[in-house]
Structure formats: C-alpha cells, structure tokens
C-alpha cells in the first residue's frame, strides 16, 4: 500500500505503457492479417508494430538512463538492431540470416536488470522481464522450440504485459525517479574520489 500511495501516473511512464499496448495490439492484428489477408497488408501492419517498438525502445532508454546510462544505451542499441533485423525480414532481398531474438532476448534481460536496480519500479517486474528475455533466448535452441515453444511464448507475453499494465495503471514513483536521475547526473565529489585510507580527520 505504501508503494501505491507514492506512485504517480507520470505522463512519460503512462505514454510508455500506451505505446507498449499499441505495439501488442498491432502485432496481434498483423498476425491475424497474415493468415487472412494479402501478404502486403500483414507486412504493413508488422512494420507499424516495429515502429511502435522502436518508439518504446527510445522511451525506455530515457526512463532507465537514470539507473545506468551506459547499460540503458547498450540495451537500446540491442533493441534497435533487433527492430532493424525484423523490418528487413519483410523484404526478401534485404533480409539478414540472423534471428531477431539474438537481440530482443538480451534486451529484455538488460531491461529486467535496470528495473531491478531502479528505485521507482517494483523489482518483481524486473525479474519477470529477465525471465522473458531468457525465454526469447531459449527459442534459439531447436529442442526447446519443438517441445515448449507455446509455453515460452505465452510466458514471455505475460511477463512483458505485466510491465505494460503497471506503467499504464500505476506509472512510476516520480520522486524516486527524479532522485535517481539527479544522482546519476551529479559528478562525483572530491571527497568521494579520495581513496580509503588517504583521508584522515585531524584532531
């Protein structure tokens, strides 16, 4: 209850959740079109879904650079690379012989770690995202795909949807986000740079 009382619907967090939802809805719609409509219609819907995920990636970068700017940037690079691979896959002459999950799996793992290390989102969401990342990487193992693909896919969607729903309904703890962002932006003080044992208070 204490967490919920301090959590606010920050506009950026809520917008991130809405973009996440639009990605999910568009991706599902694209799968329906692929099975019932001309291929071009399904491809167009998939490209729109990729555009939403690209926007989501940039929003997550802005959110989690308060935790660790270098890791947040690395995560964004992995996700954008995955989006590029996925988009090129809809153009046979430009497609690359590499699975997008090689990028999205590590991306979810890194986002999970950033959530876990943050002070403005529940750590359980970070654990769930990490499991989603492991699940997407498991798809690269043929034996796992053959036996457990449906279960892993459902698990991954549920784990990511949990984060999406939290952002839409609860947002982030704005005060804690600002504190963590300010701490990340503040240069180290002179005292903090002194090695242990080199600073002694005189009496």
**HEC readout, 180-198:** HHHHHHCCCCHHHHCCCCC
Q: Please say whether the beta carbons of 168 and 14 come within 8 A.
A: yes
pTM of the predicted protein model: 0.83
Token look-up 């988009």 returns 87
The pLDDT tens digits of the residues spanning 144-184 come to 777 777 888 888 889 999 999 999 999 999 999 989 988 88
The pLDDT tens digits of the residues spanning 12-46 come to 889 999 999 999 999 999 988 877 767 777 889 99
The pLDDT tens digits of the residues spanning 52-110 come to 999 999 999 999 999 999 999 999 999 999 999 999 988 877 778 888 999 999 999 99
| Integer Cα distance of 71 and 116 in angstroms | 13
Q: Please say whether the beta carbons of 105 and 98 come within 8 A.
A: no
| Integer Cα distance of 188 and 127 in angstroms | 30
Query: Is residue 11 very low, low, confident or very high in pLDDT (cuts 50, 70, 90)?
Result: low
- Which percentage of the chain shows pLDDT scores above 90? 55
Q: Please say whether the beta carbons of 172 and 7 come within 8 A.
A: yes
Q: Which whole-number Å values give the CA distances from 90 to 51, 72, 84, 100, 192, in the listed order?
A: 14, 28, 10, 12, 52
Q: Which whole-number Å values give the CA distances from 179 to 41, 67, 118, 120, in the listed order?
A: 46, 10, 11, 10
Domain residue ranges in the chain: 2-178
């Amino acid at each position: 209850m204490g967490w919920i009382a301090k959590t606010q619907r920050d506009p950026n967090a809520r917008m991130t959740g809405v973009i996440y939802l639009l990605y999910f809805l568009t991706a599902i719609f694209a799968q329906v079109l692929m099975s019932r409509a001309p291929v071009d219609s399904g491809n167009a819907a998939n490209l729109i879904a990729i555009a939403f995920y690209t926007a989501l990636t940039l929003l997550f970068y802005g959110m989690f650079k308060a935790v660790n700017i270098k890791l947040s940037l690395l995560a964004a690079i992995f996700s954008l690379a995955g989006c590029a691979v996925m988009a090129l896959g809809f153009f046979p002459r430009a497609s690359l012989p590499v699975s997008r999950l090689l990028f999205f799996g590590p991306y979810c793992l890194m986002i999970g770690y950033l959530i876990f290390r943050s002070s403005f989102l529940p750590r359980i969401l970070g654990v769930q995202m990490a499991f989603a990342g492991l699940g997407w990487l498991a798809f690269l193992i043929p034996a796992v795909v053959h036996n457990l693909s449906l279960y892993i896919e459902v698990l991954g969607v549920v784990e990511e949807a949990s984060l999406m729903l939290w952002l839409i309904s609860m947002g982030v703890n704005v005060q804690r986000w600002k504190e963590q962002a300010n701490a990340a932006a503040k240069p180290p003080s002179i005292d903090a740079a002194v090695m242990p044992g080199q600073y002694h208070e005189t009496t």
